[in-house]
């Protein structure tokens, strides 16, 4: 009985160690970017997997270790999502929000568990376990980013600050390839704890990792040092935010749309101050009417806009059968002679599960669950993915609405490749915590991967103009505006052209390192001979 209690106690201590390491790994991401702590966390995970490899049910044990690590990682890294529940559930918000975060973390953790279990099938006691760990977890992270609509948040590659030298590798292999390389570098110090290997051999993977990191940094530094291409008469773009909280924006008042409109017009300035103005996702709430169906509101907008183009996010509805369906849309409005012309509409194609729609609605409709956006049973997805749109006096652009900016390779390439990206988002749901910072850091990687500049308007988050290397040209947080000429696009990047085919050779090469010959072990020391 005592032996069983001791075994259970040790098991829970190990789970706590894994979860704690996962929480430490969160400090590697925005807004902290403490990469050494991320390395410490990954080394702890590898060492715990070493212990799992000694157990009879080693694959199941490895799944458990990876799962507990990821529980700590996602529960701390995504805790800000619970803020969205405060608007609809009041004092019960923390309870429902906390429960939702734990459930989400438990589901996402299954992918790290799967990656750890996959690595365990080819685990070794020597340095070759490091590359198989990196390749297996990178593969499971790609699966997490694509399965069941996907949620590629907190990918390992995002520990490198966007716009700095190491992040430039994303232009070659994307964030998934960068994640595989990051896991390889972070796990390599685990070899220092190997016994039976000469000290210099234990040091070799760490030195090799440091060399790869130095070469990557040097290549990225050189890429950033190259003079940017000249943009011919670039348009002056202003991204504006009302500065209103989510609760204030949705206050039930008869003049609510007009109150919000006035705040945005103040942030947009005079017609002579910018060529294109961009407002965030859901800029004008639909409290009393839908903006596109209100001619008085459109007339007032045109009168204040002047000879400018406006891109704004809003909710629109369209008839279907005897009722209506709703879309989370971005609308391009051209203003000329005081008349607002709706030039183009993009309906968000990839929606947020449970936030904008309820998956498997027919199965769960009896539970009376509604999405957070409070639009009936949720939004309808747009019929087509992001596409080029035309704006007067500017290169063609592609619009990514909120959640869409976290997905690599959504921006069109080839002949449809635009000249820049417009990102509109509503981060006001999530307060002033780390969530908006993480979202901004992730969105900037889309600029690096595609080689395209980005103009980002974020309600309650970071609004900015970002160049094609992911560097911030102008930014604002908490209301007001940021403004700059839109930077020039770079030549199409390898990742933009080939997508995952650019990352696959790197991941395969890392995996093949597992099959190198086993390194020689140090012979055990001989006991001293007895004197006769």
Catalytic residue among 249, 257, 348, 356: 348
Rounded Cα distance between 303 and 310, Å, is 13
- Main-chain dihedrals φ then ψ at residue 324, nearest 5 degrees: -135, 155
| CA distance linking residue 427 with residue 434, whole number of Å | 11
- From 141, 257, 356, 402, the catalytic residue: 402
Q: Which residues, in sequence order, are CB contacts of 193 under 8 Å at separation 6+?
A: 47
Q: Token pair for residue 126?
A: 């020597």
- Distances in Å between the Cα of 269 and the Cα atoms of 199, 237, 482 are 65, 12, 11
Tell the burial category of 523 from Cβ atoms under 10 Å away from its Cβ (0-12, 13-18, 19+): exposed
Which of 63, 29, 26 has the alpha carbon at shortest distance from 48? 63
- Could you count the other beta carbons within 10 Å of the beta carbon of residue 440? 26
- Options 281, 380, 404, 449, the catalytic residue: 281
Q: Phi/psi at 328 (nearest 5 deg)?
A: -90, 105
At 352, list the tokens: 């947020």
Has 10 been annotated as catalytic? no
d(CA 296, CA 273): 25
Q: Please tell me what DSSP assigns to residue 526.
A: P
Backbone torsions φ then ψ of 100, nearest 5 degrees: -65, -40
Q: Is 281 a catalytic residue?
A: yes
For tokens 């989370």, what's the residue?
Answer: 328
Catalytic status, residue 402: yes
User: How many whole angstroms separate alpha carbon 518 and alpha carbon 194?
Assistant: 14
Question: Using an 8 Å Cβ cutoff, are 250 and 287 in contact?
Answer: yes
In whole angstroms, how far apart are CA 25 and each of 65, 73, 104, 156, 450?
15, 6, 18, 9, 27
Positions marked catalytic: 281, 348, 402
């Amino acid at each position: 009985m005592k032996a069983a209690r001791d075994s259970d106690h040790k098991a829970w201590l190990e789970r706590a160690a894994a979860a704690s390491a996962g929480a430490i790994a969160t400090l590697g991401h925005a807004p902290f970017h403490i990469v050494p702590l991320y390395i410490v966390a990954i080394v702890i995970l590898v060492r715990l997997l070493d212990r799992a490899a000694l157990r009879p049910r080693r694959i199941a044990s490895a799944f458990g270790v990876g799962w507990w690590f990821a529980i700590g990682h996602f529960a701390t890294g995504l805790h800000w999502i619970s803020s969205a529940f405060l608007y609809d559930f009041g004092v019960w918000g923390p309870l429902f929000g906390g429960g939702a975060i734990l459930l989400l973390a438990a589901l996402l953790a299954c992918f790290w568990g799967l990656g750890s279990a996959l690595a365990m099938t080819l685990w070794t006691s020597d340095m070759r376990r490091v590359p198989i760990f990196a390749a297996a977890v990178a593969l499971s992270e790609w699966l997490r980013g694509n399965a069941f609509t996907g949620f590629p948040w907190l990918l390992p590659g995002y520990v490198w600050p966007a716009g700095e030298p190491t992040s430039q590798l994303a232009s070659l292999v994307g964030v998934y390839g960068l994640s595989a390389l990051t896991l390889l570098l972070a796990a390599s110090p685990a070899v220092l704890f190997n016994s039976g290997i000469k000290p210099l051999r234990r040091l070799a993977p760490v030195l090799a990792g440091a060399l790869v990191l130095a070469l990557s940094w040097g290549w990225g530094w050189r890429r950033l040092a190259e003079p940017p291409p000249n943009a011919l008469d670039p348009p002056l773009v202003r991204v504006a935010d009302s500065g209103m909280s989510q609760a204030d924006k949705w206050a039930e008042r008869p003049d609510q749309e007009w109150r919000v409109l006035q705040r945005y017009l103040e942030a947009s300035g005079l017609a002579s101050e910018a060529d294109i103005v961009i407002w965030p996702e859901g800029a004008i709430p639909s409290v009393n009417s839908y903006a596109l169906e209100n001619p008085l509101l459109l007339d007032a907008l045109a009168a204040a806009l002047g000879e400018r183009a406006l891109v704004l996010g809003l909710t629109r509805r369209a008839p279907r059968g005897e009722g209506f369906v709703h879309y989370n849309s971005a609308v391009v409005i051209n203003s000329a002679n005081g008349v607002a012309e709706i030039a183009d509409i993009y309906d968000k194609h990839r929606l947020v599960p449970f936030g904008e729609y309820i998956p498997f609605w027919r199965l769960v409709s009896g539970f009376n669950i509604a999405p957070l956006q409070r639009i009936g049973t949720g939004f309808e997805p747009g019929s087509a993915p992001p596409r080029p749109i035309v704006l007067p006096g500017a290169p063609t652009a592609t619009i990514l609405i909120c959640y869409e900016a976290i997905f690599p390779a959504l921006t069109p390439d080839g002949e449809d490749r635009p000249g820049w990206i417009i990102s509109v988002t509503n981060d006001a749901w999530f307060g002033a915590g780390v969530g908006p910072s993480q979202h901004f850091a992730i969105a900037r990687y889309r600029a690096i991967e595609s080689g395209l500049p980005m103009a980002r308007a974020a309600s309650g988050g970071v609004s900015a103009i970002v160049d094609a290397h992911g560097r911030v040209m102008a930014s604002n947080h908490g209301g007001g505006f940021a403004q700059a000429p839109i930077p020039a696009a770079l030549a199409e990047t390898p990742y933009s052209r080939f997508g995952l085919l650019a990352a696959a050779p790197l991941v395969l090469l890392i995996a093949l390192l597992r099959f190198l010959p086993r390194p020689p072990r140090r012979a055990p020391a001989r006991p001293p001979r007895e004197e006769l």
